[in-house]
Amino acid sequence: MKIYVAGFQHETNTFAPSLADWAAFNRGDSFPAFIKGQAMLDSLRGVNIPIGGFMDAARREGWQLVPGSWCGAIPSSYVTRDAFERVSDSILADVRQGGFEAVYLDLHGAAVAEHVDDCEGELIGRIRAIVGPKMPIVVSLDLHANVTVKMLAEADALASYRTYPHVDMAATGELAAKLLKRRIELGRKEPLAYRRLPFLIPLNAQSTWLEPAKSRYEDILDLDKEFNACLSFCMAFPAADIAECAPMVWGYGPAADIAVDRLYRLVSEPTQWQLEIFSARDAVEHACVLAESNDKPVVIADTQDNPGAGGDSNTTGLLRALLEKGAGKRIPGKVAIGLIYDSAAAAMAHAAGLGSTITTTVGTAVPTFTGQLSDDPVQGTFKVKALSDGKVTLKGPMMTGLSIKLGQCALLEIDGVLVAVASGKKQLLDRELFRMLGVHPETMKILIVKSSNHFRADFTPIASHVLVAKAAGPMAADPADLPWTKLPATTRRNPGLVA
């Protein structure tokens, strides 16, 4: 059995300031750079991403893989027309050569291009037009996929992550292989059922470390067993202004309609998806008080500048709150924030050298979804505490074994606050991203991470408390705050946030 494999990963926040051009898919900062052929298989084998898990399953089944290309770029605004067509052309050129009996695609499911609202549906459809209606096409998706009717119709089977933070990425690749095996053995597509939820779920309410998501995904496992089904529930990426941006429940199997209806009833009650969120200053003050009576650090999520959701990781609302509240003076040397994307500040620190002081600005005022700019850069005199080349291999539960390159990085100190700056953008989801600059998270009192939920997998085990803060930034914590134009009015109804 020969299977063509390829991948394309982008999560598009259509309200974010920066486009994903072709260079974004070749930088190798947050994802491996564009890679093709046998080198793709060699570099991604054993990494906790879906294609890594699919390769492991294929080896056990004795399937032979025909490698195409794989690429990913950090979440941002639209994928440029040029970038999407280059990705598509590379994959389609391979598909036209043939020599395989099935197709596996490692996709995100929430990519939007300048000219295509549904990148994954478009790509699967283009492949289907070449291989014909009978060849199996299976796809793995991120839990934040905005699953479209076209994606469901063009593919034989879709499988999504069941954890957020996404610690089961490789396992989802294995699940896709299981669906492919079922499809091959049956000789035709399995019965499919699906239902779309009529509201959006805020990202911070989606964590499977918390209720209700924790129990809802446990329900999926129970329903799969009861009905011999393979169910998925994508909570969606609630910042893509397309008509089909919404959570989706779907499944395959002889009783898929019954299983999907049961799961839909469990997830579709909207008030269960509410959450607690703080202003930047309230979060910092609360953290300072908590830190006085706890040995473990208080972790604050700077969710509205999450580079994993379209932010540029460069806003200063939380840094300003730390300085205004005197957090670094109250707990000197035990307060850290990162990663702030500022290549100029990092370069200045490297030029000045370890132990020197530099007078500069850190951070950027960026356009936000409100139409206003975020907080001004922080200007001051910083001490250079540590330097790094930004090359780091992740060791936490997410993306274990993935090596990334963030360019020149520096640890700067101002008023007792440690500021980790980088020349590349990466969501702070792994403790190694602090450790590369000599900050040992376990010994800190307050940690501010530019992330929404992915940090929980590696940071919750060491934290006394986890708070979510709402500072000005490009990614709305509450989807109801966004200026939607294409989203149906029925979907704009949002359960809201508990202040």
Measure Cα distances from 279 to 282, 317, 373, 415, 499 in Å: 5, 10, 17, 22, 9
List Cβ neighbours of 486 (8 Å cut-off, separation of 6 or more). Answer: 117, 241, 242, 243, 245
What torsion do the CA atoms of 237, 240, 241, 245 make, to the nearest 10 degrees?
A: -30
Cα angle 370-371-375, degrees, rounded to a multiple of 5 = 80
CATH superfamily, region 2-273: Response regulator (3.40.50.2300)
List Cβ neighbours of 357 (8 Å cut-off, separation of 6 or more). Answer: 381, 382, 383, 384
pLDDT (tens digit per residue) in 292-337: 999 999 999 999 999 989 899 999 999 999 999 999 999 999 999 9
Closest among 329, 333, 332, 357 to 345, alpha carbons compared: 357
Measure Cα distances from 193 to 139, 243, 462 in Å: 16, 20, 41
List Cβ neighbours of 492 (8 Å cut-off, separation of 6 or more). Answer: 200, 480, 484
The model's pTM: 0.88
Domain boundaries, the chain: 2-273, 278-476
Q: How far apart are CA 250 and CA 270, in angstroms?
A: 18
Q: How far apart are CA 415 and CA 255, in angstroms?
A: 62
Going residue by residue through the chain (499 aa), what tens digit of pLDDT does each one get? 999 999 999 999 999 888 999 999 999 877 889 999 999 999 899 888 999 999 999 999 999 999 999 999 999 999 999 999 999 999 999 999 999 999 999 999 999 999 999 999 999 999 999 999 999 999 999 999 999 999 999 999 999 999 999 999 999 999 999 999 999 999 999 999 999 999 999 999 999 999 999 999 999 999 999 999 999 999 999 999 999 999 999 999 999 999 999 999 999 999 999 888 999 999 999 999 999 999 999 999 999 999 989 899 999 999 999 999 999 999 999 999 999 999 999 999 999 999 999 999 999 999 998 889 999 999 999 999 999 999 999 999 988 888 899 999 999 999 999 999 999 999 999 999 999 999 999 999 999 999 999 999 999 999 999 999 999 999 999 898 899 999 988 776 555 555 4
**Do you find a cis peptide bond into 212, omega within 30 degrees of 0?**
yes
pLDDT (tens digit per residue) in 209-249: 999 999 999 999 999 999 999 999 999 999 999 999 999 99
